[in-house]
Amino acid sequence: MFGLVGWLLYWLLTLFILVMIGRMIVDWAVTFQARGDWVWKVRRVTHGVTEPVLAPVRKVLPPVRFGGFGLDLAFTLVFIAALILRSVVS
């Protein structure tokens, strides 16, 4: 039974990590003024999946600002935590 649960958790975490990578790429595309309706559709999906996890972490660990540039430490922490959790359940 734990094998099935571990396998499901592993693949859910893998999908979550892939969505986070997608979010990062789309956010960079928006920053560099990518145009197209697809950008906003993908952004809506990636933010919809990841924001419920990132928002509570961001309340504790807000982004660090360097002039016009911001470093989202919550994204980094959640991404690393997902990688660690995935290695634990595998």
All structural domains of the chain with their residue ranges: 2-89
pLDDT in tens, 29-87: 887 887 788 888 999 999 999 999 999 999 999 888 888 777 889 999 999 999 999 99
The CA distance from 37 to 5, in Å, is: 38
pTM beyond 0.75: yes
pLDDT reported for residue 2: 65
3-state SS class at 71: strand
Confidence check: pLDDT of 90 > 80: no
pLDDT in tens, 17-45: 999 999 999 988 887 887 788 888 999 99
